[in-house]
Structure 1
């Protein structure tokens, strides 16, 4: 058994489907994110240095390399540009914080992970910021942003009017000015 990294991992539970050349596909669940990489729990144990493709809910498809294996656990590092790795890390950290909140009220609408995550956010003064959708529901969206926007800020996500209702590190939660019909919310939604 190997030691865990010295810094505290950020717990985040997300379902994933992984595959490699020697294993067509297998299910896994993310367990945490640390400087070492993303830890998964799975009944299948990949080999050390094995290259895997993992499709993680809310994140998308990632090319990875196994850097550690343990009993029913394995750790992967992304094989991606620094920008893409930082984007994935920000999204996972935001989801970790969101999952750790026990004081959140029950959600009125289910959240989905949109296929098209990149979005432009227009501020009232006309400035346009690049954003990345974490999830969308009929009543709002969670966005990863490089800029801090205070609660109450009116924004337009794509072409959808919204207002910032909560902030978290590296992002915001926004409520739509005019909620969607729940039947209109699906993975292919365009805001």
Structure 2
């Protein structure tokens, strides 16, 4: 089983905060300070920093917001540039770092053991992330799609409807089933198809 070690790795330099990086392959999207958005891929990660490949060209010290499959929203600053992308710090609370460490350990162990994801339906890769959440009283709030499957979605939003609240994500009816650090998780009222989710895909 994979575990994080605080001792330096002999095979690669130690990243910031004394965490060992994990080799991963997680797609996502990032937004630069200019609000330009680009697809990206995380190739290595620790709870303290992230190595990304991306066609977008940030500058050293630039603030980055990224939405990564499996991990959700990450925020940080560009530490260094390389030929294919850059290294980004992870700005997070101690609690968030602990959560990231647990997620990375799970991902590494799942990869080593060949375990499937603990999901009822496959994750889809949304190309459109901007959306709108409508509450039962008709009030509307802009939000950002973090995660999407045929049975539900996770959205980045500041307000927190109560768990169990009926909502509409664009035209899709559902209910709030979970709160997390960046927003809420929604379970759709019925299982969707790729066709019914085409607005996001």
User: Which band: TM-score by shorter chain?
Assistant: 0.5 to 0.7
Residues in 1 aligned to 2:146 and 2:79: alpha-carbon distance in whole angstroms? 25
> Aligned residue for 2:195?
184
Q: Which runs of 5+ in 1 are unaligned?
A: 18-26, 43-47, 79-85
SS of the aligned residue for 2:46 comes to strand
Query: Counterpart of 1:40?
Result: 51
Q: Which residue of 1 aligns with 2:45?
A: 31
1:130 maps to: 142
State whether structure 2 residue 158 is matched by structure 1 residue 146: yes
Query: Does 1:15 find its partner at 2:26?
Result: yes
Q: Residues 147 and 170 of structure 1 are in contact (CA less than 8 Å); yes or no, is this contact kept in structure 2?
A: no
- Aligned-pair CA distance for 1:137: 0.8
Cα distance change, pair 110–146 in 1 and its aligned pair in 2 (3 A): same
Contact preservation (8 Å) 2:50, 2:89:
no
2-side partners of 1:100 and 1:144: how far apart?
21
Q: Shift of the alpha carbon at 1:113?
A: 2.5
With over 3 angstroms needed to count, the CA separation of the structure-2 counterparts of 1:133 and 1:4, relative to structure 1, is same
Using the TM superposition, give the Cα deviation of residue 5 of structure 1 relative to its aligned residue in structure 2, in angstroms. 3.3
Decide which of 62, 67, 72 is 2:80's aligned counterpart. Answer: 67
Alpha-carbon RMSD: 4.6
- State the TM-score, normalized to the length of structure 1: 0.55
Q: Is the 8 A contact 1:12 1:33 kept in 2?
A: no
Separation in 1 of the partners of 2:146 and 2:134? 17
2:179 alignment partner in structure 1: 167
Report SS of the residue matched to 2:88: strand
Q: TM-score, normalised by structure 2?
A: 0.53
CA contact (8 A) 1:133 1:141 kept: yes
Q: Give the SS at the match of 1:29.
A: strand
Q: CA deviation at 1:142?
A: 0.8
* Residue of structure 2 aligned with 1:99, choices 100, 103, 112: 103
